[in-house]
Structures are given as C-alpha cells and as structure tokens.
Amino acid sequence: MVRPHPRTVGEESRPFGSGWEKRVVYDQAWRRFGLFTGWMCILIGACVLTLWIAAPDWTALDFPVFFQMKANTALSMVGLGSACLLILKRRRRPALFLLVPILLFGLAALYQHVFVASLGIDQVLVSRTFENSVDDHGRIPPNTALCLVLTSLAMLLRALRARPDWWQTSLSFVCFTMTAAAVIGYMIALNSAQDWISGTRMSLQTAACFMCLNLTFSFYGSPQLGIYRSVLAGLMAVSTYMILLVFTYVELTEIEQLYMMPLELAPDQANPRFTLSALVIVTGIVYAALIAYLFVASRHGRRVQRALSDQQSRFSAVVDAAADGIIVINSRGIILSVNPACTRLFGYSSAELLGQNISVLMPEPHRRAHDGYLAAYERTGIARVIGSGREVEGRRKDGSLFPIDASVVRIDLPDGTLYSGTLRDISERKASESALLAANAELEEFAYRTSHDLRAPIASAIGMTAIARDMLARQDMERLDETLQRMETGFSRLDHLIHKIMLLTRTRLLAEDDAKVAIAPLVADILETLNHTEGFSSISFAVAIDPELTILNKPSRVAVALANLLSNAIKYRDPAEAQASVEIRAARVGKNVVVTIDDNGIGIEPALRTNLFRMFVRMAPGNAAGSGLGLYIVKKSVEAMGGSVAYEPREKGSRFTLVLPDRAMEARTLHEDSFDPGRG
C-alpha cells in the first residue's frame, strides 16, 4: 500500500499498521538529533580552537577548564561535526574527504601513546604555550585518540555504504560506552573513568561530543539491521555500568596503593575490597546473562518480524496491484493509507492525500457534512454506506466530478476503529447506460415514426387504387393518369424512405476495415451519381481539393456522409437564386482532414438548428421532400469514424463541416513518439 513518503529503489511495499510509519517517525527524530549534534560539535570545536589561538594567557590560567579540549581535538571535532551534517544530508563524498584525515590523525596520535614516540603532530596547529594543570596542550590523551579513531571509522563506513551495518554499529556502540562512562565519571567525580593513564584526562566537552555523535549513528537507521532500539539502549546502559564498576574498583586499588594501607576494617567486619570485587563479579554475571537473553530475544524478534514483513509484503503486493482504489481512514476521517489505483483515480499523489480528511475527495454538500456522518454513525450505529455498496460522486484534484461505486467496511482493532473503502470508477458504465437509454429512446421514436411514415403512403396508395378502379370503370382516362402519377410519387417516397432505413441500418451495423480514400476522386464520383437529380444542372459546383489528398479511414462511411450532404445541398437549393452554387473544400489540419460544403440555398430556420442531427428532423419541410434521416445518418457515420460534423449558418445558405481523423497520421505520430528520446 502506498506509504507517506515516495518509494525508493528496492523499498518493499508495507501496509498500514506494520509499524513502518512509527519507524519512519523515529528515524526522522534521530536524524534531527544528528543535525543538532553536528552543529553542536562544530560550535564547541570552533569556540575552543578560537580560545587556543587568540585567548590571552590569563584566560588559560584562570579558566583551565576551557582548555582541557586540545587544539587538535577541537579542529578534529569541527571536522567530525561537518561530516555528520554531510552524511545526514546524503552528501557522502565531501564527508569522506573530511573523515580520512581525521582518521589518520587519530591513528598517529594513538601510535605515539602506544609506542611512546613523537611524530611531530602535536604542535602543528598550536601557536601559544600555556602552563596549566594539564599536560602538553598539543598532545591528545590516549582515550581521546582511540575515540577519534573509532568515531571517524564508524562514520566512514556509514558514508561509504549509505546505510548502517554491524561493523559501524559496533564501533559506535563501543565508543559511546567509553565516552558515556567518562561523562558519568565527571558527574560522580570518578577519576578513573576519565583518566585511563594518570594525567591523560578526556575533557568533558570532548566526551559529550563523542557521546552524541556515536549515539546518533548507533540509533539512526538501526532497525534496518533488525536491531530493536530498546535492546540497543539496554546493552549500552549495561556496558556503561560495568565499565563504571571496573573503574571504581581500579580507583579503590590506586587509593590503596597511594596510601600504602589496605582498605580493611575491624576483623569482624567485611573487607570493602573483597565486597566490591564480589559485587563486580556477581553484577557482571547477572548482566552477562541479561545481555545473552536480550541477544536471543532480539534474534527471535527479528525472525518474527521478518516473517511478518514477508506476509505483509505479499498482502501489500495484492493491494498495490488491485485495479480498484483502496483507502483506509480512522474514526475522525483522516486518510491513513491509499493504494496506487486510488491516487490514479483522484489525480493526487499519496503524499498529498495522507493525513488529509477524506472529505477532500467529496463534492459539496457532502464535503462539509462528512464528519457529521461519521459522528452520527459512531453515536447511533445507523449506517448509510458502511457495510454495503453505494453509488456516490467523487471529486478529482482538478475539481471534476465522476461517479463511484463505493463499498466501505468497518475494521475494529484493539487501539481503535478503522474504515476501509473500495472505490471503483463507474464513469464508463454510466456512459454506457446513458447511451443505452438514448439508443432505446431513439429506437422507440424510430419504430413509431417509421411505422407512421410507412403506413401513410400505403394507406394513400390503397385509397387511390380504389379511385383508379372507379375511374377505369368510367373510362375517365385523363383523371386516371393523374391519379396514377400521384400513386407513383407516393411509392417513390416510400422507396426513398425504405432506402434511408436500410442505409441507416447498414451504417449502424457495418463492420468495415480502414482503407485509403482519395477525397477528390470520391467527391467527383458522388457528383457523377447525383447528376440526374432534379436541379443538378442549374447549380454551379466549385471543388477545391488537392488531388493527392487521401485519408485512411472507413471508405463507405466517408462516402455516405459526403453523399448525404451534397444531396441536401442540391435538394435545398434556392429556386429564386440567379445562380445556385455549391463549394466543396478539403484540407489536412493536423491529424485530421477537414471537409467543408458551402451552398447559397434556402438555409435552415433557427428553430430547427438545435435538433438538426436528430432522426426525422427535416431541414425545410415545406420546400422539398425528404425522410428526415439524412443528417442523422451523416452524424452516425462520422461518429463511427471518430470524427465530428457541425453546421454553421451563412449570410445566404449553409455550411457543413466534417472533421475526419486520418488513421495514417495517428499511427505515424505514435511511431515517432515511441522512438523520440526527448519525449516521455
């Protein structure tokens, strides 16, 4: 299921409720602590370094505590703080350039203590010499040098691998334990915790900086290793406590040696040294058992967590692949989880939806009233949508509304109630239903009008047949001839109507493949077919079409549309016009071929223009005979090709415009897009 943060490469899908959201919150908290630590180290190191370089002699004599951090240590701390900030901001390469010199310096300083040598690195950055209670101000203590090596090495590993690992976490763990013992030693005046070798005290500033740095890199991202932070914190506390016990024992031993007297009381009282040794041993055994138990429990927890994560990943894969939108909210209507189908449905990203009230996906007035719906359900238990499916309206990001089939279920959990909704866009179904209703209405109208228009000529012919028989009996040949002509006209209209009905049926049912159509020759053939039509010879035809203009579409439908429009232009010419004219133009416009037919005929009355392309609507009922199906057939033919037809009144006459898609141009555009590296 979609998470509150963008998916990264290799990231597994995790559903709501897996604890991943809480882990993200904790990681972000530790990241903020790390940023604070970085700036703290930079500030402390810069201040101490400034004092070493610029402070007067009396400052060092009166305030020696400020100079317990050596100048070289202060500069190294500035580098460690800067590297910490760079690592947390994912700028790993600059961090590596800072950490490598610090690691080398720490190793050199540690080498000097171990082998009692001098490499000349102690006075590199020191310009003053102060006489105070501490030893050589340039040489850093051995415990400080060791922590410098461990910390810089741990941060190097994190910068190189961009994620925590066992070596890095172990180094940070050891260094934190050492420096935490030093900080506590300052608090309880336990010198052994600060001075591993007499006179080599780690300063409080140094210990605090090291402790915070290693705390950051111990906890930030540790769940990726399957380590519980609570277990890690317990191990750190236990280790620090054990070190303090050992240092306490060491300090008592040193006091005993210093005063050349054993710490013994009266014969009947216990020896403090024996008591403390027993305390150290017993406590060590207890804590060792506790550490072993925590380790075993942690391993078992990791196995359980891995199994649960695998199960949740499989569940999330199913949810992510669902075609329907799935959304989860709490009892206050706050969106907790959405799947990819839901984001596609509404046009929002997951980050834009998570944490928002679900009412953002609803139109008014439901948007304002939704919280009241939830409160009423919680109070009364009466559900309107919950537990059943219902058709509702959704609101996309762009403000458009669309119909949704929503199914909502209630999920009762120990820590609260959730609601899960499955949402399906039913726009296509609604459009199909509307189209079906419209088709049924058209069919009913068609059946009624057709039966009426078919019956009228037949009834008229039956009546005129009886009249003709009577005239024949009376030998009234002149009137008989007139009656027969009227019968012929009626049958011609009936034949025309039947032809139109057959043409309409073929237009609806015809399954035709696309083929190349040359527009100019097609228009010429249609005009040749219509040249016997009444009034054709009195019309001036002007054809402005490129002979090479072709279109890839359905040839029969193109011919039907053009033939009907040209037939209407001839049929509805204006007899009072000195020179009737029809202009036919065609040109390619983008992916389409646009055909316009202009005439200076009688035009169309404004009252008829609204329903011009409906069935049985005649352009001029009193001026010419017709079925009222011609423009309807044109509209259906053009729509079947994916095009459109439009009417525009002229100052004198009419203009019809056909927009016909050219499949060849569409296919060419798709081909170019698929090979254009600059697209997509």
Is residue 70 one of the residues assigned to a domain? yes
What CATH number has the domain bearing residue 355?
Answer: 3.30.450.20
Q: 176: how many CB neighbours lie within 10 A of its CB? A: 28
* pLDDT mean over 163-173: 86
Instruction: Choose between 501 and 216: higher pLDDT.
Output: 216
E strand or H helix at 613: none
In this structure, what token pair is assigned to residue 507? 């237009």
CA distance 552 to 651: 34
* pLDDT mean over 334-339: 87
Task: Say if CB 23 and CB 305 are below 8 A apart.
Answer: no
* 100 and 52, same domain (yes or no): yes
Of 206-220, 224-238, 331-345, 383-397, give the lowest mean pLDDT range. Answer: 224-238
pLDDT attached to residue 465 = 77
CA distance 38 to 32: 10
* pLDDT mean over 497-511: 59
Tens of pLDDT along 296-319? 776 777 777 777 777 777 877 877
Is residue 247 one of the residues assigned to a domain? yes
pLDDT attached to residue 572 = 85
pLDDT attached to residue 385 = 62
Residues with Cβ within 8 Å of residue 578, at least 6 apart in sequence:
none
* 338 and 269, same domain (yes or no): no
Alpha helices in 322-426 (DSSP H): 340-346, 350-353, 366-380
* pLDDT mean over 569-597: 89
Residue 82 binned pLDDT confidence (cut-offs 50, 70, 90)? very high
Counting every residue, how long is the chain?
680
Task: Say if CB 572 and CB 624 are below 8 A apart.
Answer: yes
Task: Say if CB 408 and CB 387 are below 8 A apart.
Answer: yes
Residue 12 binned pLDDT confidence (cut-offs 50, 70, 90)? very low
Q: Is the pLDDT of residue 320 over 70?
A: yes
Domain boundary among the residues 167, 191, 217 is at 217
Q: Which range, 72-76, 272-276, 507-511, has the best average confidence (pLDDT)?
A: 72-76
Give the three-class secondary structure for 57: helix
* 165 and 44, same domain (yes or no): yes
Tens of pLDDT along 175-213? 888 887 777 767 766 454 445 544 446 788 888 899 899
* 328 and 287, same domain (yes or no): no
pLDDT attached to residue 598 = 93
Residue 443 binned pLDDT confidence (cut-offs 50, 70, 90)? low
CA distance 319 to 601: 63
* pLDDT mean over 8-25: 47
For the chain, give the mean pLDDT: 75
Instruction: Choose between 108 and 267: higher pLDDT.
Output: 108
* pLDDT mean over 17-28: 60
Look up the domain containing 281 and give its range.
228-307
CA distance 550 to 515: 10
* pLDDT mean over 246-273: 59
Is residue 86 one of the residues assigned to a domain? yes
Q: What are phi and psi of 169, to 5 degrees?
A: -65, -40
Is residue 671 one of the residues assigned to a domain? yes
CA distance 558 to 569: 17
pLDDT attached to residue 577 = 85
pLDDT > 90 in the chain, percent: 12
Residue 273 binned pLDDT confidence (cut-offs 50, 70, 90)? low
Q: Is the pLDDT of residue 109 over 70?
A: yes
Q: How far is CA 492 from CA 25, 535, 625, 626, 631, in A?
A: 84, 18, 11, 11, 20
Of 120-134, 462-476, 628-642, 648-662, give the lowest mean pLDDT range. Answer: 120-134
pTM over the 0.95 mark: no
Q: Can you say how many angstroms the Cα of residue 179 is from the centroid of all Cα atoms in its chain?
A: 45
Q: 297: how many CB neighbours lie within 10 A of its CB? A: 12
Q: Can you say how many angstroms the Cα of residue 563 is from the centroid of all Cα atoms in its chain?
A: 51
Of 171-175, 190-194, 430-434, 557-561, give the lowest mean pLDDT range. Answer: 190-194
- Only one residue has tokens 């009656």, namely 483
Is residue 10 one of the residues assigned to a domain? no
Task: Say if CB 41 and CB 78 are below 8 A apart.
Answer: yes
Q: What are phi and psi of 316, to 5 degrees?
A: -65, -35
E strand or H helix at 419: strand 416-425
CA distance 563 to 503: 12
* 446 and 571, same domain (yes or no): no
* 409 and 297, same domain (yes or no): no
Task: Say if CB 520 and CB 549 are below 8 A apart.
Answer: yes
Q: How far is CA 107 from CA 150, 176, 273, in A?
A: 10, 19, 37
CA distance 231 to 298: 7
Residue 584 binned pLDDT confidence (cut-offs 50, 70, 90)? very high
Q: Is the pLDDT of residue 131 over 70?
A: no
* 386 and 474, same domain (yes or no): no
Domain boundary among the residues 307, 342, 368 is at 307
Instruction: Choose between 162 and 656: higher pLDDT.
Output: 656
Is residue 16 one of the residues assigned to a domain? no
Residue 282 binned pLDDT confidence (cut-offs 50, 70, 90)? low
* pLDDT mean over 77-91: 91
* 563 and 662, same domain (yes or no): yes
Q: 90: how many CB neighbours lie within 10 A of its CB? A: 9
What CATH number has the domain bearing residue 631?
Answer: 3.30.565.10
b/e per residue 474-510 (b: at least 16 CB within 10 A): eeeeeebeebeeebeebeebbeebeebbebbeebeee
Q: What are phi and psi of 487, to 5 degrees?
A: -65, -40
Tens of pLDDT along 360-378? 888 877 766 666 666 666 6
* pLDDT mean over 411-417: 78
Give the count of domains, the chain.
5
pLDDT > 70 in the chain, percent: 65
Q: How far is CA 62 from CA 22, 66, 129, 201, 204, in A?
A: 50, 10, 15, 19, 18
Is residue 333 one of the residues assigned to a domain? yes
Q: Is the pLDDT of residue 453 over 60?
A: no
Domain boundary among the residues 189, 217, 245 is at 217
- Residue 399, beta-bridge partner list: none
pLDDT attached to residue 141 = 81
Q: Is the pLDDT of residue 499 over 80?
A: no
Q: Is the pLDDT of residue 495 over 70?
A: no
Q: Can you say how many angstroms the Cα of residue 619 is from the centroid of all Cα atoms in its chain?
A: 53
* 98 and 211, same domain (yes or no): yes
* 340 and 244, same domain (yes or no): no
Task: Say if CB 312 and CB 18 are below 8 A apart.
Answer: yes
Contacts 24+ apart (CB under 8 A), 435-440: none
E strand or H helix at 164: none
CA distance 657 to 594: 7
Crossing angle for the helix pair 630-640 and 477-509, to the nearest 10 degrees: 20
Instruction: Choose between 86 and 55: higher pLDDT.
Output: 86
CA distance 199 to 675: 74
* 600 and 637, same domain (yes or no): yes
Closest CA to 142 of 167, 108, 171: 108
In this structure, what token pair is assigned to residue 415? 């820590």
Task: Say if CB 457 and CB 494 are below 8 A apart.
Answer: yes
In this structure, what token pair is assigned to residue 197? 């070798």
In this structure, what token pair is assigned to residue 33? 């602590």
Residue 40 binned pLDDT confidence (cut-offs 50, 70, 90)? very high
In this structure, what token pair is assigned to residue 61? 């004599």
Q: Which range, 89-98, 191-200, 214-223, 425-434, has the best average confidence (pLDDT)?
A: 89-98
* 135 and 213, same domain (yes or no): yes
Is residue 336 one of the residues assigned to a domain? yes
Q: Is the pLDDT of residue 535 over 60?
A: yes
